[in-house]
Structure 1
């Protein structure tokens, strides 16, 4: 209990520091008002940043999350090589990758917002200053995440959770004002009722999906199985959890942050507009987004449940799955079951994410809530993760001693 209180106190301090950083805008307080579209607001929601205010932590966890994706891909392609590298070297390699991504995203954001930054009369100096501030904020965020993982609770998800909780009341109140207070009409009232019913249904579905899992029974040869607690390999109905949604929006934001930078260097991109392709306001952009979610859904399913590692552990311990040969056959069996569950999870995600997005094309007042499923999914999984961590900290010192007191 004492450790939980200590870690909670450290996390509160980290949250306090992060919230201060989100309210520190570019030097001089000479940043013109910038209104983010709903898509960029949703990016801010899942990364913990704030693109509606050019602040120290405007990018939030965006560079960190993007860096982790690329790092996992690189690591999976060179698994044997990275297994021989010490932790300090791996940490510096990760930090360098995140730094490069932060610089690219910061420079792209600064170029796209150059007309809103008026600290200097020289545009190049404004861009340089903004890039430096955003990059520094992104790396400071990475340090806060690492610090929270070491001495706090919740890891990187905690900052995302705070970002969602701090913005949901504002989004909810603005929707109520728009539909019921400022301009009440029959269509707006119907929209309000539809959203409330949708929220109830989505929360019910999320609770069911996150609590559902497929269990593969495992036979252990070192104990009498008829007397032991049943052992199994759990595979969740949504094996990727909320990771595809969190990283999918980050990927969709990359073109809007990078293309403005490339336009200055590449003449043939001068007349190109990527907004329609990534804004989630067109059928093509929504379809692209759903395809990205499907790919990430399968990818993160194998990150969270690694069939190769599970089959190797079973083989080393002498355990096995009934009617399945140890080794490669076990790995293929687990892979097949994981693919089945990931497919079902992707279908559920496509329905619960795709339907609101397509509905927002017809009813614009629903655009603010078209990302509701993903936000609630992140909220639910983050709360469950933090709750499990707190429970583990409370119960870890309450196990009975194996040895007698006299020893």
Structure 2
């Protein structure tokens, strides 16, 4: 049995090793940061929310505090660039594309490290080199190096492990669930009674079950393969029920927190515009909730469009000589694919709004309910990752069970 499923055991062992290295790396404090650095990072709503969904560490500054953020932003930027379908990009080698993505990861790691170091600037222990205080650039350098280590771990796990890059966010999501429930966007756990707590658990189970269905659901479009003249010439083109995947979960909350953080950094909270942003564009005020909903709608559509790319799908079918059943190749196929994408996107957007925004709306009437927004988002992210892991395990388990002929 062990030999038969050796590939599965190797991948599982590799992923456990990656997670172990990642967890240990998040225990190694960045040298030169005083004890006040912990409070400096946790006081930033932007860093807290961004780190929560990208596996970062703001409880204390560590070598791997940046988490998966730089890698995910680089991947998203590359996907957006590739979606432009520029002719010269298709001629690039895999090696060149890899260098570009590594360069983007380094750039985003540097930007995130600079932001993190900015919040730590008053808590750095002076470190002198030839009489010059190099504590700030040293912290930035160490954080960037840590970000590149996380990117290397994510890339290695994509090729040799289970769960892809997102497996790295699982420990942080699981550990943060109790804290987000106790003190998320609403009031503390003290305001909850046991019946209400039980109701929240039931709602969480509903989120888990529906998320399972969404992450496994696909739309099948029958494809006729004109070049295969046999009964095996038919197949399906599948579109995911969540076209944008988990990306709206990852970035929507951080985007809403960004304007407020900018205002506070530049000390503009007392200006009319700054006062409105700081006091109203939050997760517990109607203008902020409305903007959060708009961000989710926009991100779901744009990221889903980049991921599905109906125009490229239609062109690929036409170039290979295949076509959708009863649909002319070319413009008609693209129109149908775009229509199906919009239908899927509409349902997916509705689900995301229920999970991420509805608790905030209820929280305007009863404040503790707002905490469930983060809790449900975490649960949905966990289910997305675990679903992918389960699919890979099943595929590897069954791979050696196939038979060419049945007896």
With the shorter chain as reference, the TM-score category is 0.7 to 0.9
User: SS of the counterpart of 2:354?
Assistant: helix
Counting only pairs closer than 5 Å after superposition, residues 266-345 of structure 1 correspond to structure 2 as 272=274, 275-276=278-279, 279-345=282-348
TM-score (ref. length: structure 2): 0.83
Q: Distance in 1 between matches of 2:347 and 2:260?
A: 31
**Cα pair 2:224 2:323 within 8 Å, conserved:** yes
Change (3 A) 1:17 1:326: same
Q: Distance in 1 between matches of 2:18 and 2:253?
A: 25
1:156 to 155, 161, 165: 165
Using the TM superposition, give the Cα deviation of residue 173 of structure 1 relative to its aligned residue in structure 2, in angstroms.
Answer: 7.7
1:245 to 249, 258, 261: 249
Change (3 A) 1:257 1:93: farther
Q: Distance in 1 between matches of 2:320 and 2:8?
A: 34
Verify: 1:196 aligned to 2:201, yes or no: yes
Verify: 1:167 aligned to 2:176, yes or no: yes
1:130 alignment partner in structure 2: 139
2:125 to 119, 123, 126: 119
Deviation digits for residues 107-132 of structure 1, max 9, x if unmatched?
A: 112212333x2422899744333322
Deviation digits for residues 86-126 of structure 1, max 9, x if unmatched?
A: 112111111112212221221112212333x2422899744
Q: How many aligned residue pairs are there?
A: 390
Q: Distance in 2 between matches of 1:208 and 1:199?
A: 14
1:219 alignment partner in structure 2: 224
Question: Which structure 1 residue ranges, 5 or more long, are not aligned?
Answer: 403-407
Deviation digits for residues 51-79 of structure 1, max 9, x if unmatched?
A: 12111122211122222222222222253
Q: Distance in 2 between matches of 1:188 and 1:114?
A: 42
1:21 to 20, 25, 36: 25
**Cα pair 1:109 1:257 within 8 Å, conserved:** no
Question: Which structure 2 residue ranges, 5 or more long, are not aligned?
Answer: none
Verify: 1:86 aligned to 2:93, yes or no: yes
Instruction: Return 359-368 or 322-331, whichever deviates more.
Output: 359-368
Q: Distance in 1 between matches of 2:258 and 2:139?
A: 18
Verify: 1:141 aligned to 2:155, yes or no: no
TM-score (ref. length: structure 1): 0.83
Change (3 A) 1:78 1:234: closer
2:236 alignment partner in structure 1: 232
**CA-based RMSD:** 3.3
Q: Distance in 2 between matches of 1:223 and 1:132?
A: 56
Counting only pairs closer than 5 Å after superposition, residues 306-385 of structure 1 correspond to structure 2 as 306-385=309-388
2:10 to 6, 12, 35: 6
User: SS of the counterpart of 1:315?
Assistant: helix
User: SS of the counterpart of 1:232?
Assistant: strand
Verify: 1:77 aligned to 2:84, yes or no: yes
